[in-house]
Structure 1
């Protein structure tokens, strides 16, 4: 489905209910499978979370998680310790191009039985579940946090717990801390000191836990962008969020201050208001790389520049997000330079209208570029890709004043 977006009036002040965090939900679904008794409220309705539910509930010999990157990483670890279970874990054609060797190497070092069925270092994987007896592993700290999180989620199932030694500078640390906080909520102890994480073994006395998933901050980012690109005085209220959030993308509230947006917390809601003008920004996003596309589009729409670094993990997402951004920005008239881990956007006041944005099977490409319709009419190809993380996205944009037509 291709669509055209534009607005004919100012953004409407509206309250939007965003569904639960995909990141929290997928971690909790796996923990729920390992420790029955956990109940989950406000779970994500995303395709990725549905892929996790289906895989964990089934008993198929071949498990296809399609585009769900978190499911691929988390389930690789899960099936590795699933005694007596043999499974081939596969996904979409793009998933078969996304490296998983770092995680497989770590699991093999712990004693796992995992084979590549096609290309070395990439899915599909043939996994034979067994008891893992080695209780310490070393892994590079600058890899995707999902590799490390996959190990953390199964760590308490080891007889002596699990020690993970991280080599080098840590990427996406908030996502690791989120995982450890969720482990604590279900009764599993851990210690994160310097570059070593220790997960204590499960006692067998885990208490039933009812956990309410906070709404997704990554999904909130698109409304920050909408408010940033709107007139001073515009506001949108979002629920349900916590001021003391587990999610790294909570950094939005600070980052978008520079882009003219203030955040007011009240009970479980946050109100975003355009209160002042913006300025060019320089940011290291190593802890929040999923925000890069949204921030870059906001800056382009505001006519200001940005210099974003710490983006090396974007090369192995649903698409090579840095190259995809460069291609689509240039169609819009932007001057942009990218490297393996940086994006530099030059200030520009002109935006080409009626450009069709390609989405590359990447939900964040569709959602990040959508707010530009406040400035000029734009088109989004394969718009249904948003269902990966935010199925209600286009309906929620209509609520705040976007006019959306199917092409």
Structure 2
């Protein structure tokens, strides 16, 4: 979409494995391909539909893994196949977004310069309570980034002293609701997290970024030149055939990517640049990172339980019971439980206390170590 002379694009990051959502999330169908929030739509579909009123389908890009690329092309017919890009190797988010910038510079070379391309970097698997407000804030963030050559992040207004997220320390007001970023803070311990909440000028880092393509490229050239200096080279190669890297058939692109450092966009650019701003969110948000997040995104019964599928719950409180089995003969019953999680699929069952939800990933690692990939 062209607005005020700018070609607006979106990049949706969709390469994660979602191991904390085992046994529903599997290697070939991870979290972003599951209907975890709306039971009739995959999370990646929700992410696309969320941004489509602002940015047309032909300018929405999905960055994923080679394992998932073909599946996503089949399952997401609204997105042009060439816009579903597989990163050649796992190298974290800075190289991943560098490849996306190269693809866009090549694809739009005949109609606009990098200064005229702006990008919203979004996630495939998060929850937003008010999508209209979310879109308005995307527009506000993009407009500021376009006009001021800034990198804008959408900071999440914290609802609790969370130790699982990084934080953003906010400074002075720049324009409207947009604030200067003083610094990024690593995931804190419980005491420090409470101090951040009490201070009132800290936001969660939600991993969403907005920038002009030239701002992003110049920032990487300055702060992470091993990556930044290769963007125009990749774009030049891709101008001849933008499908080459997208189909994973370019040895040159693969070699360039393979030599990139494994570095996040947060560390490679955001924490080092001096032109970073933040827009505080005006909606409820959740990263839907593990089974306990269903407490924050689903409806509850009178005893604060969350139930999905064919279930019976008796004398239980604050418990999540999710039956995803396709066998209509399987009933899952929970009796006398509190603060527990039960998840059932056709071939696997997970049972754990809510405060151990993060450790589901450890179970996956143990199974892999034992050679039990059949169930992964």
Q: TM-score, normalised by structure 2?
A: 0.29
Q: TM-score, normalised by structure 1?
A: 0.28
